[in-house]
Amino acid sequence: MPVHLGSSETHCLAPFPVPCMHRSHAPVHIRHIQDELKTHSTTMTASKQSTASAPAAVPEDYAQMLNAWLGNLNRVMNPSLWVSPSSNGLAPANGASHAPADKGSDGASAGLAGFPFDAASPFAAFASQTLPNLFAGAYPGINLAGLKTGLLPGAATANGVLPEVKIAPEKLQQLQADYASDCAALMQKALAPIQNFDISALGLTDKRFTSEAWREKPANSFAAAWYLLNTRYLGALADALDADGKTRDRIRFAVDQWAAAAAPSNFLALNPDAQKTMIETQGESLRLGIQNLLNDLTQGRITQTDEAGFVVGENLANTEGTVVYQNELIQLIQYKPLAATVFEQPLLIVPPCINKYYILDLTPENSLMRYALEAGHQVFIISWRNPDASLAGKGWDDYVDEGVLQAIEVVKTISGRKQLNTLGFCVGGTLLATALAVLAARGEHPAASMTLLTSMLDFSDTGIIDVFIDEAQVESREQAIGGKGDKPPGLMRGSEFNSTFAFLRPNDLVWNYVVDNYLKGRTPPAFDLLFWNSDSTNLPGPMVSWYLRHTYLENSLCKPGALTVCGEPVDLGLVDVPTFIYGSREDHIVPWKTAYESTRLLNGPLRFVLGASGHIAGVINPPSKNKRSYWSAAELPESAEAWLAQATEQRGSWWPEWATWLEQHGGKRIKARSKPGHAKYPALEPAPGSYVKQRA
């Protein structure tokens, strides 16, 4: 669940060698990088043979592919080779001949007129180059080699036929006319005399192209403007398609992925910032970038932060507490009170099981846990286990029963109270509401209140994630890891979750790091939130399959009696407790209007608050930072839009408003207990416990 996060003259990069020096002051050729790749691969292999804990060697098929890619890059950098395909050794893409390109009526190439890239395009070799499945270990079932033919997630129907799409002729004609007009206007600006060139007229406000290096030379500015123009019209074309909503969303998603990947900023040959860094460092940035790439390939994910700066239990998740219960799925942590007197009703927090609980306890100044403790609450939290193969058969019922229901019973016993306040975050909120509905069906009502943070109960609008969900996709998961048929259940790997969520915002969470880490050879700065984001967890296949089918696909959880969990029919309307519901306005995982829909499903006094920012940053917004804002209103009209229209915006954090609300349900103040646990549930180990330290 991801979060967010220049001038010497740039030399021409053709022909290679790169104008940079090693200590010997000899020019650095592509072959030197290839030699380093070979050395790295050999070293990694030897290391693997010498120690079982060393990372895996760079895959041989990747080493071959990268060597071929570097060779092609060397040719692309040499314009003298562009015009003669027979002399540069470039093979035509897909076996095509190098026949002349079609000509327009004026005799110019119908392709990129004025550029040396027509039939003899030096980039043709890249189009025909196949990609090995680089991350097979990290992303099982995802074949990156098939990206060119499988870009649309789940686009095919059950019989493998793509849905029919078309576009109204009048829409297409208008788009063509607008595009031609904007192209002509851009070309007119580009052809203006250099002394009259106005960079501001290009409107380069995209943060990828705002540095001085992109503005120094008109050619760089024009390349960025040309890219932005084309991506804008590709998006408009996708939006104009006459198709069902899901198909149109999937096409737009695919277009956005391609557009993000094709940005000139992502390529050394086209990125003046990266070229400048390479020249200033005498090629060291290129060497470090290749090293960063190789390191990321061995770990199966892009590095987003300097992970060496964090240790769970030392400078993260270091609020003092004790593990007082554990089973196969959870450890329950009881925190040491930070006030002399505490509210008699304890607070149980159910975090998401997709990532680790310490998103709520990053550092003391960002810790919602510590904030609640300082306000006088007795705080308990579930720490979910990172499942291995021995837990691959666990399902949704197990997470409700052995997780939430068991934690409720332990907290009641330790506190000596019949009721407790509860809080669920993301899917933790879905699990919590389900558990309370199960208890309500049994005539039990242990919750004095419930807080839901960016949680979905009605899945009718799941935002961009919906592009991945259909019957074929869910059936595929059930067959592969859900234990359906003759195949045993398996695990949904945490790296798959990370990859999916990252590509929901590819410019911020993928290509930003490709540019900085690989093209510029930088090490990303230490950032606690991104460290947590990379510390993913696996999930049992049956649990994931149940969740996908009954919520995202069929949206059955919000229908009274449609589902049976732990032997009880689920009716969320039976959850009759005071409930505080929070949504984040820019959340791309739980759209805020979907979070608002929970007000129609639950009974009891309800309060809805909307925070600024996204899924994580909106929640983790401590008052001490005095950042962002939130909206609140006394009334809860039928629609989310109507609620927002009458809501009042207030500066700062929403935490104090929640704390004031929760205080009303805390009961009287009592003296804080000095010892954790209970005779039945003695202290097991200090917080943060051992489960949170298990890596996926």
505, 588 contact by CB (below 8 A)? yes
Do you know the residue count of the chain?
Answer: 696
One DSSP character per residue, 248-259 reads HHHHHHHHHHHH
* Beta carbons of 655 and 622 less than 8 angstroms apart: yes
- Give start and end residues of each alpha helix (H) in 589-671: 592-596, 640-646, 655-663
Q: Parallel, antiparallel, or unpaired: how do β-strands 347-350 and 420-425 relate?
A: parallel
Is residue 426 annotated as part of the catalytic site, yes or no?
yes
Q: Which two tokens stand for residue 503?
A: 């590509």
Rounded Cα gap, residues 606 and 602, in angstroms? 8
Nearest Cα to 400, choosing from 371, 436, 373, 431? Answer: 431
**Cβ-defined contacts of 497-500 (< 8 Å, 24+):** 497/354, 497/536, 497/539, 498/2, 498/301, 498/533, 498/534, 498/536, 499/135, 499/138, 499/139, 499/142, 499/301, 500/468
CA torsion, ordered 12, 17, 21, 23, to nearest 10 deg: 170
**CA dist., res. 412 & res. 270, Å (int):** 62
Token digits for 18? 């790169």
What backbone torsions phi and psi does residue 448 show, to the nearest 5 degrees? Answer: -80, -25
Q: Who's near 298: CB < 8 A, 6+ residues apart?
A: 44, 55, 56, 57, 58
3-state secondary structure 513-534: HHHHHHHCCCCCCCCHHHHHHH
Q: CA quadruple 617, 622, 624, 628: dihedral positive or negative? A: positive
CB count in 10 Å sphere of residue 148: 9
Which three-class secondary structure state does DSSP give residue 620? coil
Between CA 430 and CA 153 the distance in angstroms is: 25
Contact 170, 178 (CB under 8 A): no
Of 12, 20, 353, 426, the active-site residue reads 426
The structure tokens 């060397």 sit at 74
Strands (E) across 514-585 are located at 539-540, 564-565, 568-569, 579-584
CA pair distance 692, 314, nearest whole angstrom: 13
Query: Which helix (H) or strand (E) covers residue 326, if one does?
Result: strand 321-326
Extract the tokens encoding 130. 């196949």
Using alpha carbons only, how large is the chain's radius of gyration in Å? Answer: 28
3-state helix, strand, coil in the chain (%, to 5): 45, 10, 45
| Block residue for tokens 């650095």 | 28
Residue 442: count other Cβ atoms within 10 Å of its Cβ: 10
**Angstrom distance (rounded) from CA 402 to CA 566:** 10
Smallest CA-to-CA distance from 433 within 305, 597, 225, 299 is with 597
Q: List the structure tokens of 466.
A: 């919906």
CA distance 511 to 258: 12
Measured distance CA(503)–CA(163) in Å, rounded: 23
DSSP-derived secondary structure letter, 601: T
* CB 558, CB 572: distance < 8 Å: yes
Q: Enumerate the active-site residues.
A: 426
